[in-house]
Structure 1
Amino acid sequence: MKRTVAIVALTSCLCFAQAPRKATTPPPAASSAGNPTTLKAAEDLWKAGEFESANNLFKALVAAYPGNADYRVRWGQLFAERFAPGEAVKLYQEALEIDPKNALAYLYTADVLAAEFNPKAAEAADKALEIDPKLYHAYEIKARMALEDDNHKKAAEEADAALKIEPTALGAIAIHTALDLLADRESEWAPKLNNRAKGFELIAHLLVLNRRYEEGIVWYRKAIAAEPTLWTSHAQLGVNLMRLGREAEARVELEVSYDAHYRDAATVNTLKLMDTYKDYETFTTPTTILKLHKKEAAALRPYFESELLRAMAVFEKKYEFKLTKPVQLEVYPNHEDFAVRTMGLPGLGALGVTFNDVVAMDSPSGRTPGEFHWAGTLWHELSHVYMLTLTNYRVPRWFTEGVAVHEESATNADWGDRMTPNIVAAIRDKKLLPVAQIDRGFVHPSYPGQVIVSYYQAGRICDYIAQRWGEKKLLDIAKQFAKNRPTVEVLREQLGMEPEAFDKDFLAEVDKETATTVKNFELFTKSLGELNKMAREATPNTEEIIKKGRELEAIYPDYVEAGTPYVVVAQVCMKKGDKACALTEYEKYSRQGGRDSAPIFELSKLLDEAGRKKEAAAALERLLYISPLDQQLHPKLAELSLATGDAPKAVREYTVQLALKPIDMAGSYYNLARALNAQGQKDKAREEAFNALEAAPDFRPAQKLLLELSGEGPKP
């Protein structure tokens, strides 16, 4: 199906295309002077799917009756329904300026914010209830938020509060049903849904948020069976089928929604993304499916495929578990394409996402060079595949994320993310959450950066458990979560202590490890700027810079971001001609997980000059996991590989260099021929030598190599 619309932004948009509409919440009574006839006309147009005309009438009503807050509230609901939540909230806020006691304005604000996983939704819901205690939907919103935080007790209490006001409250019944399903209990609530499609849809949504995608799909199908024109369910069914790699089925559902003029961001963008799949190549093994964009497939495949297989072998042994289906890995060179895969889901990292046995992630080309470690992301996401499958999708969010962060650096210590400044600030300000509440930090962050802090905390908890009780204890805990047991119960049994005691011990360990950094954080921040300013002076005081830089390294060893003392000191050492000093600093930078390619190239060069060629090659190998599309990387690594007798690696690197279409194609073919010759593949070496001469007929080194390979020239 042809779609000429552009990709919808991942924020709000307004689409007033025609589509039949089921009745929603009835309009409120006018709070001041108004025009009931025009209001009814707007409502009728809205119900008939004439959204543009309805919008125009609401606009006219608000202009004619600027003191009528209810008109703004109702107009806001139209915007909320037609994919413009930001505009809706603006209208609700305008209504509250007119009428601070407008309970519905608070209620619908809460509804929009809750859909965006904004914790302020609870405040708005409470305000609505304060004004009108009968607004049971506010309790339903709070129940949904509690369930999203994995607080099942509170979710049930809030749902009960709604049912006390309205015994048939659909949202509350659906939440109770979802709680039973998530606990693997036969539900006494399900029959009370009375085949109401919106209830089925909410259950599906809550199952999906708990990573129970297959079950969510079943409930979306139930919603559609109950109400075939429920386009929201068609759209979400399509999105979730797409998440699981069932593209043909997904397209059918998404196009049904699209053709019915239900064109929210998820529907439109997912269809647009699927239209680009013709530009991808698929590579399969008995256990893997790898999808790479054609423009970079040849360059990335050697690394992604081998790392995928290596990680699976490690996890299969470590988790004592073998997957029964191939893992599908999708690698997106356009970050916005990857972002489509994560729309509507809270608490996800910005680099990768896992849906059962399907992993989607950014390509190195989709990010600024050095911004992320693609292999660490791959191991992180693949850990989810094993952990979710092993526990039958019953594992709490904090634990699967914690284990995944732990796995990033369990095999290679320099892979994992460092303790960034916002994490230091959170530790200093005592913002780490109790272990039983960490899910809240992922789903409803209460301050900027809390999602990243939650990843750090969950990962450090798993590190701490492995250090204190042994690596296998993580697997023991996972097996208990597979029985659908709550965090408090599992930790109490497996660690032999109450969660509160665990929190105390864990936080004491964190404080001990980070004490120097946290205590001197403000000093570090101030001194770092001074250090970099000193280094930029025309005649810098090198000894003072080296002294000050090393003091800062001792305060905050994990800091490898812009202006890091390791690089500042290394560069000063080079200026004064002290290569040994520079080498030491660059080694520390690399060991701490620094990802900027320039310092690592310098490290490799200095190691090579010092005669430490294998270490020089190893330094460049780190860059393969960070910036594998860097054209200068591959020939340098290839030459070091040849120098250390690793011809197969040299062949791989020169092959990748050719895939990147270098300017000097003849020289690249020639170098590949040299590597193949060193590996003993003389026939293939001869082919590449011919390729070099086709690119540049007078290229003497290729001519000479061809003669040698033919036995007509001197041996090299």
Structure 2
Amino acid sequence: AALVEVGLAQSGARQYEDAEKALRAACAKAPGWAEAWIELGLVQAQAGRDDAARESLAEARRLDPFNIRASNTLTMLTDLAQFKSIESDHFIVRYKEGDDLVLAREMPAVLERIYERVTGNGPGGIDHKPAGKTVIDLMPDHAMFAVRITGMPQLHTIAAATGPLVAMEAPRVGAGHSTGVYDWSRVIQHEFTHTVTLSRTKNRLPHWFTEASAVYLEDAPRDESRCTMLARALDTDQLFDLDSINVAFARPQKPQDRGMAYAQGHWMYEFIVEKWGAAAPLKLMDQYAAGVREAQAMESVLGVSRAAFLDQFKVWAHAQVVSWGLAMPEGVPSVKELLAQSKSEGGSGTTPTPELIDAWIKKYPDHPQVLELAVSAALDKNEGKVSPEMVPLIERFALAAPVKHMPHRVLAKYYLDKGEGEKAIPHLEFMDIREVYNPAIAVELSKRYGALNDWEKAFQKAERATRIAPYDAAHRELAATMAIKAGHLDAATRHIDALTILEPDREVHRKRLDAVRKLMQATPPAPPGGD
């Protein structure tokens, strides 16, 4: 039993080689004990040693035919052995035969770009190349993905890295899928960052730190919901300390704890980069790799204690929240304080009147909270519709509160409804760069750029839509059209070929594919397009 506990502890710390040694020793001492074989098989599966895992789990199931985790994982590994694979310089993509081929064959080119970004020495790069190829398992449904990671068919996420391998649920809608479509390239860039940081640190680094670096390397701005959550936690003194943040990932006490831990960890990582430079996180990683504890590593690299780090971080974080328009600068009253002042002067002190809002706007023309009140009041008065007179006010609000989505959403709709698509583009771009789950904004941008005859941008946005929803035939049609317009006949061929798999009964796709291939033969090669 002691050897199994040692193995479990080492597995939890992703020390797979040591965990396997301990669990093999446990199996040798008690060859009839199913639990030891089960844990050995699960560790081998997480380490990507699938053949060994199948042997161990087969023995576990022989000893205990009713163990669900062993049975689930053995069935999954048996099915996985039938998967097809595609290799690139640094990755092996495994997928179930069928229409998952549509996504699987597009993945290597994107993955290699991710590899260069994450392993490189550019801003935020980890400057480290893991040994061997990383396996990407494209699982056809959520249950198979979850079993791959935990042995059970439910998991709170859509992709996960164990170190040497990354598993992901296919980004599609329908029965058996937990989330639906999502930007798989952004998600895998996050997960592959785990693979690289764990390799650089020999799997030794605080949980919050590995998640923080992975979110940082998603290369996407923080969305409004996370900004609001962070601002509220800072204002109410509810930020985690450097111990409780790690607990929040593994054993969250409240529903929002895990999301808050991701957001705060990323925020602290940004602080480290801004205050101590881009090399500081890498120096911390090397300290962790050498077995140095967090407190000593921070003292050595950052020159501060953990307590001092948090104190300095909170000062910096407050300035960030002010820059987001979610807190007021020193000397500027909040709306709550303005209402209290109004009450002391005879007002209701509860709901600001239009006259009061007008007075506040004149006194504080760039006040984000007052501007939000003014915009909301104007929209309510006009049945939710933007009028030309409102546009300057909404634009001021967007500048005063640069993380807020609302001004961009209403202005994009206003300009699209007016037929002024070019003016909608900056607002659509603001939303699209923050979007993970909805391809509609990328589709709209593709059409807007197409209307301007900017075919390259139209093509790139159509490509983005297919990365979020790779099995959607309509998005493939759009991407093929824009690829032809942009002169990327290779990409057009790829999308039309995908349509022959997604909609095999439509003869028109095969005819179009033949036509584009003939056009390629008659056309000088253009630079490769898309993925």
Which TM-score applies when normalising by structure 2?
Answer: 0.79
1:237 aligns with 2:43: no
Q: Distance in 1 between matches of 2:146 and 2:233?
A: 27
**CA contact 2:72–2:151 (8 Å) conserved in 1:** no
Question: Which residue of 2 is the match for residue 266 of structure 1?
Answer: 69
Q: Distance in 2 between matches of 1:360 and 1:531?
A: 47
**Which one of the candidate residues 378, 384, 390 is aligned to 2:188?**
378
What secondary structure is seen at the aligned counterpart in 2 of 1:361? Answer: strand
**Which one of the candidate residues 215, 221, 245 is aligned to 1:405?**
215
**CA contact 1:542–1:573 (8 Å) conserved in 2:** no
**Which one of the candidate residues 619, 622, 646 is aligned to 2:488?**
646
**Which one of the candidate residues 600, 617, 629 is aligned to 2:459?**
617
Per-residue deviation, 1:352: 1.9
**Which one of the candidate residues 9, 16, 22 is aligned to 1:219?**
22
**Which one of the candidate residues 345, 361, 364 is aligned to 2:171?**
364
**CA contact 1:376–1:416 (8 Å) conserved in 2:** no
Q: Distance in 2 between matches of 1:532 and 1:631?
A: 41
Task: Give the alignment of 1:145-224 within 5 angstroms.
Answer: 198-224=1-27
1:483 aligns with 2:271: no
Q: Which moved more, 1:478-487 or 1:420-429?
A: 420-429
Question: Which residue of 1 is the match for residue 203 of structure 2?
Answer: 393
Query: Which amino acid letter does the alignment assign opposite residue 617 of structure 1?
Result: F
Pair 1:338–1:551, CA change in 2 (3 A): farther
Per-residue deviation, 1:406: 1.1
Per-residue deviation, 1:414: 5.5
Task: Give the alignment of 1:127-138 within 5 angstroms.
Answer: none
1:470 aligns with 2:470: no
Per-residue deviation, 1:479: 1.4
Q: Distance in 2 between matches of 1:206 and 1:556?
A: 46
Query: Which amino acid letter does the alignment assign opposite residue 599 of structure 1?
Result: I
Q: Distance in 2 between matches of 1:328 and 1:624?
A: 23
1:680 aligns with 2:514: no
Q: Distance in 2 between matches of 1:233 and 1:527?
A: 62
Query: Which amino acid letter does the alignment assign opposite residue 267 of structure 1?
Result: A
* Consecutive unaligned residues in structure 2, runs of 5 or more: 329-333, 337-368, 524-531
* Consecutive unaligned residues in structure 1, runs of 5 or more: 1-197, 683-716
**CA contact 1:254–1:271 (8 Å) conserved in 2:** yes
Task: Give the alignment of 1:586-665 within 5 angstroms.
Answer: 586-593=428-435, 595-661=437-503, 664-665=506-507
**CA contact 2:24–2:40 (8 Å) conserved in 1:** yes
Query: Which amino acid letter does the alignment assign opposite residue 464 of structure 1?
Result: F
**CA contact 1:241–1:247 (8 Å) conserved in 2:** yes
Query: How big is each residue's C-alpha offset from its partner over 1:562-586, in whole Å with a ceiling of 9 and x where there is no partner?
Result: xx55334322333344434433321
Per-residue deviation, 1:256: 2.6
Question: Which residue of 1 is the match for residue 245 of structure 2?
Answer: 438
**CA contact 1:542–1:576 (8 Å) conserved in 2:** no
Q: Distance in 2 between matches of 1:415 and 1:493?
A: 30
Per-residue deviation, 1:204: 1.1
Question: Which residue of 2 is the match for residue 698 of structure 1?
Answer: none
Greater relative contact order structure (CA < 8 Å, 6+ sep): 2
1:355 aligns with 2:132: no
Task: Give the alignment of 1:459-538 within 5 angstroms.
Answer: 459-515=266-322, 516-517=325-326
Query: How big is each residue's C-alpha offset from its partner over 1:183-242, in whole Å with a ceiling of 9 and x where there is no partner?
Result: xxxxxxxxxxxxxxx111111111111111221121112222222232222111111111
Which TM-score applies when normalising by structure 1?
Answer: 0.60
Q: Distance in 1 between matches of 2:48 and 2:36?
A: 18
Q: Distance in 2 between matches of 1:547 and 1:267?
A: 63
What secondary structure is seen at the aligned counterpart in 2 of 1:517? Answer: coil
Q: Which moved more, 1:228-237 or 1:260-269?
A: 260-269
Per-residue deviation, 1:558: 4.2
Pair 1:377–1:532, CA change in 2 (3 A): farther
Query: How big is each residue's C-alpha offset from its partner over 1:28-64, in whole Å with a ceiling of 9 and x where there is no partner?
Result: xxxxxxxxxxxxxxxxxxxxxxxxxxxxxxxxxxxxx
Question: Which residue of 2 is the match for residue 571 of structure 1?
Answer: 413
Query: How big is each residue's C-alpha offset from its partner over 1:264-287, in whole Å with a ceiling of 9 and x where there is no partner?
Result: 442232123234326632223453
Per-residue deviation, 1:494: 0.9
What secondary structure is seen at the aligned counterpart in 2 of 1:448? Answer: coil
Per-residue deviation, 1:300: 0.7
Q: Distance in 1 between matches of 2:499 and 2:134?
A: 28
**CA contact 1:534–1:541 (8 Å) conserved in 2:** no
Query: Which amino acid letter does the alignment assign opposite residue 446 of structure 2?
Result: S
Query: Which amino acid letter does the alignment assign opposite residue 201 of structure 2?
Result: T
Query: How big is each residue's C-alpha offset from its partner over 1:670-696, in whole Å with a ceiling of 9 and x where there is no partner?
Result: 3333433443378xxxxxxxxxxxxxx
Pair 1:479–1:417, CA change in 2 (3 A): farther
Pair 1:212–1:430, CA change in 2 (3 A): same
Q: Distance in 2 between matches of 1:555 and 1:662?
A: 51
Query: How big is each residue's C-alpha offset from its partner over 1:397-423, in whole Å with a ceiling of 9 and x where there is no partner?
Result: 2222211111111xxx36999726544
Query: How big is each residue's C-alpha offset from its partner over 1:449-484, in whole Å with a ceiling of 9 and x where there is no partner?
Result: 211111122222222222333322222221121101
Per-residue deviation, 1:489: 1.0
Query: Which amino acid letter does the alignment assign opposite residue 183 of structure 2?
Result: H
Compute the RMSD of aligned alpha carbons: 3.5
Q: Which moved more, 1:263-272 or 1:303-312?
A: 263-272
Per-residue deviation, 1:434: 2.6
Pair 1:675–1:529, CA change in 2 (3 A): farther
Question: Which residue of 2 is the match for residue 341 of structure 1?
Answer: 148
Per-residue deviation, 1:344: 7.7
Q: Distance in 1 between matches of 2:32 and 2:379?
A: 64
Pair 1:555–1:373, CA change in 2 (3 A): farther
Pair 1:495–1:577, CA change in 2 (3 A): same
Query: Which amino acid letter does the alignment assign opposite residue 263 of structure 1?
Result: F
Aligned-pair identity in percent equals: 21
1:317 aligns with 2:120: yes
Q: Distance in 2 between matches of 1:673 and 1:285?
A: 27
What secondary structure is seen at the aligned counterpart in 2 of 1:619? Answer: helix
Query: How big is each residue's C-alpha offset from its partner over 1:339-392, in whole Å with a ceiling of 9 and x where there is no partner?
Result: 2233289xx97122222311111221245445x321112111111112111221
Question: Which residue of 2 is the match for residue 703 of structure 1?
Answer: none
Query: How big is each residue's C-alpha offset from its partner over 1:686-715, in whole Å with a ceiling of 9 and x where there is no partner?
Result: xxxxxxxxxxxxxxxxxxxxxxxxxxxxxx
Per-residue deviation, 1:535: 11
**CA contact 2:4–2:23 (8 Å) conserved in 1:** yes
**CA contact 2:54–2:78 (8 Å) conserved in 1:** no
Q: Distance in 1 between matches of 2:251 and 2:204?
A: 20
Q: Distance in 1 between matches of 2:224 and 2:200?
A: 25
Q: Distance in 1 between matches of 2:335 and 2:435?
A: 20
Query: How big is each residue's C-alpha offset from its partner over 1:315-345, in whole Å with a ceiling of 9 and x where there is no partner?
Result: 3433443333221110113112212233289
Q: Distance in 2 between matches of 1:500 and 1:249?
A: 45
Q: Distance in 2 between matches of 1:548 and 1:662?
A: 52
What secondary structure is seen at the aligned counterpart in 1 of 2:138? Answer: strand
Pair 1:420–1:448, CA change in 2 (3 A): farther
Q: Distance in 1 between matches of 2:127 and 2:494?
A: 32
Per-residue deviation, 1:531: 8.7
